[in-house]
Structure 1
Amino acid sequence: MVVLITGANGQLGQAIQSISGNYPEIDFVFCDSSKLDISNLKNVEQIFAQYKPNYCINAAAYTAVDKAESEPEKAHSINVIGAKNLAEVCKKSGVVLLHISTDFVFDGNRSVTLSAVEVPYSEEDIPNPTGVYGQTKLDGEKAIQDTFDNYYIIRTSWVYSQFANNFMKTMLRLASERESLSVVNDQIGTPTNAVDLAEVLVKIICHTELAGAFGIYNFSNEGKCSWYDFAKKIFEINNIKIDLKPIPTSSFPTPAKRPSYSVLDKSKIKNTFGIAIMNWETRLKTIDFSVITEKKP
């Protein structure tokens, strides 16, 4: 079985590389952006013809949320045109596509019902992105759905790991440079370990008996927190003493609006693939912080 990975030098791509040795039955082909530019249809066709994959995991994406507001064409090229190119070539080649999407397809405004009970976002909820990044990721989803049926779209949130650039590594770096730090405490979501996401993608591929269970799925670790809570736990686990202050989003304006609530309902992926999901705090404690890399995506 040949599984082609786009965006191999990004956070998820590196996470998949870290577990690839556990699956000798799979021939992983890792392509970074210098080898495979998904926005270039001819490049995609050439790589697929060369390696003849059975599955493609699209870990390539434009993820600079704020920068996307001033670079909408670049975000569209990767997140929409790139997704469409992969879907078209997958369709022609009989390849199954696993595509990573985001909680940013939602506006985050429906955190409570009339009974004041939180309702995480399910796959059936209607997306309503508030920025360029979320809109291009949603448009990429639609481009895939309009092209063919043999896809798994996995929406995830707050991805972190010891690889590439992410919130956890930024917090650790800032803590080494400053005595105090302010982090927003009114955006609620769930951190997702990139290696856990990688394992789920491979598990889906290995579930050959469920080959027809295509569609959209949510995946993150379990539980919920604010960015402040996440930072506090990172420092606590690493015994880092820092003056950490919670602040409202209004005190930290950014070019792109973030969802105030983006907890995802994982019932569908758990029930379909028999996946057990670890709580985000428990998972964070298992990180080997001594091997954190500085490799850029």
Structure 2
Amino acid sequence: MVVLVTGAGGQLGQSLQFIAPNYPDIQFVFCDSSTLDITNLNNVKQLFKQIKPNFCINAAAYTAVDKAESEPEKAYLINVVGAKNLATVCKEFDTILLHISTDFVFDGTKKTPYTEEDIPNPEGVYGQTKLDGEQAIQEIWHKHFIIRTSWVYSQFGNNFMKTMLRLAAERDKISVVNDQIGTPTNAVDLAEVLVKICTSIFHLPSSNLFGIYNFSNEGQCSWYFFAKKIFEFNNIKINLEPIPTTSFPTPAKRPGYSVLDKSKIKNTFGPEISGGVKYWETSLNEIEKE
């Protein structure tokens, strides 16, 4: 089985590289933007011709939520044109596409976990381009898994956990918003789920399981409580202050509530995946010990 991973330099791409040795039967091909420009259709075709992947995990994305407000063309190019190019070439080579999307496709006004059936209503450029990318894939190639996830962090790349640890080394006091609720997701757990989907589907001659799925760790919290646990698990004593979103204005609006319902992915793939859905605190605690 050949699995192409785009965005290999990002935190999900690095998390997939981290777990790859546990899957010796899979031939992973990792490409970052310097070895594969997903916004260039010919570039994508050439690589597919060369490696003929069974699966393509698209971990490449423009994820700078605030910057996207002033760089909409760049966000669109990567999140929409890139997704469209991959779907087009996946169709040509009969490659199954696994595409990562986000809780930002929702406006966050709901008070119960979002299901795959809920109507998206993104409120910023980033969320809109991710939704447009999803829709482009759906129109082009039916053999896809679109995985919506939330609050991704890991020991790799840039993320909230690493920002908090860096700020704690520089300051005596940190203020974090306490009225946005979601679920932190360890990128390594997400990587495991993506590989498990590939291995499950590889052994099914025909699959009607394609479509949109939610995946995150279990539980929910505010950014403030997430930060509190990061410091607690790292034995860092710091003055942490909870603040409302109104006290921390950002160019892009964040969903006030973006917990994802994972019933569909657990019911579809069974114990193989549902057994691996850890509570976010457990996963955070474990990552610190690696």
Give the alignment's TM-score, normalised by structure 2: 0.96
Task: State the partner residue of 1:3.
Answer: 3
Letter in 2 for 1:76: Y
Unaligned 5+ residue runs, structure 1? 112-118, 292-297
Task: State the partner residue of 2:52.
Answer: 52
Matches within 5 A, 1:73-92: 73-92=73-92
Matches within 5 A, 1:202-217: 202-208=195-201, 209=203, 211-217=207-213
Does residue 1:13 correspond to 2:13, yes or no? yes
Matches within 5 A, 1:1-297: 1-111=1-111, 119-208=112-201, 209=203, 211-274=207-270, 275=273, 276=275, 277-288=277-288
User: Displacement of 1:8 after TM fit?
Assistant: 0.3
User: Displacement of 1:287 after TM fit?
Assistant: 1.0
Percent identity over the alignment is 75
Letter in 2 for 1:122: T
Distance 1:8 1:148 in 2: 23
Letter in 2 for 1:178: R
User: Displacement of 1:212 after TM fit?
Assistant: 2.9
Q: What whole-Å deviation, never above 9, does each CA across 1:64-93 have from its counterpart, x for those lacking one?
A: 000000000000000000000000000000
Distance 1:130 1:205 in 2: 32
User: Displacement of 1:226 after TM fit?
Assistant: 0.3
Distance 2:41 2:126 in 1: 22
Q: What whole-Å deviation, never above 9, does each CA across 1:21-42 have from its counterpart, x for those lacking one?
A: 1111100000000010111111
Letter in 2 for 1:238: N
Pick which of 60-69 and 267-276 moved more: 267-276
Q: Which structure 1 residue ranges, 4+ long, deviate > 6 Å from structure 2?
A: none
Letter in 2 for 1:223: G
* RMSD of aligned residue pairs (Cα, Å): 0.9
Letter in 2 for 1:225: C
Give the alignment's TM-score, normalised by structure 1: 0.94
User: Displacement of 1:148 after TM fit?
Assistant: 1.4
Distance 2:12 2:44 in 1: 20
Distance 2:252 2:225 in 1: 22
Unaligned 5+ residue runs, structure 2? none
SS at match of 2:253: coil
Q: What whole-Å deviation, never above 9, does each CA across 1:272-291 have from its counterpart, x for those lacking one?
A: 111221100111110135x6
SS at match of 1:198: helix
Pick which of 183-192 and 202-211 moved more: 202-211
Distance 1:169 1:148 in 2: 36
User: Displacement of 1:50 after TM fit?
Assistant: 1.1
Distance 1:172 1:37 in 2: 32
User: Displacement of 1:97 after TM fit?
Assistant: 0.1
Q: What whole-Å deviation, never above 9, does each CA across 1:217-237 have from its counterpart, x for those lacking one?
A: 000000000000000000001
